[in-house]
Amino acid sequence: MDVIATFATLDDAESALDWIGVDFADGDDAFQGELSGDDRELLGAAIDDPETPGPVRELARALLARWDADGTPQLRFAVGWSR
């Protein structure tokens, strides 16, 4: 699974995913999850909310772009952090 984005710290990566509101779990050196159904609305809301921090908005855009490019009903994803 390709890493969609990498944050400076584990806390930054976790906070970004929490802000968006998608489900994820600890994986090998990254948080992993699968987007489906209503998750598209969560990504859109994070992108459109003027209070969303820039890095979180960029993550939401990257996830949505990958999901659209894949053209699948679900998207498995990973978000990492620097070591």
Cα–Cα distance measured from residue 25 to residue 60, given in angstroms and rounded to the nearest whole number: 17
Q: Residues 37-76: pLDDT tens digits?
A: 999 999 999 999 999 999 999 999 999 999 999 999 999 9
46 token code pair: 């994070």
**Strands 25-26 and 3-7, bridge-based pairing:** unpaired
Q: How high is the pLDDT of residue 29?
A: 85
Please, which pLDDT band fits residue 28 given cuts at 50, 70 and 90? confident
Q: Is the pLDDT at 83 greater than 80, yes or no?
A: no
pLDDT at 1 over 80: no
| Res 58: pLDDT | 97
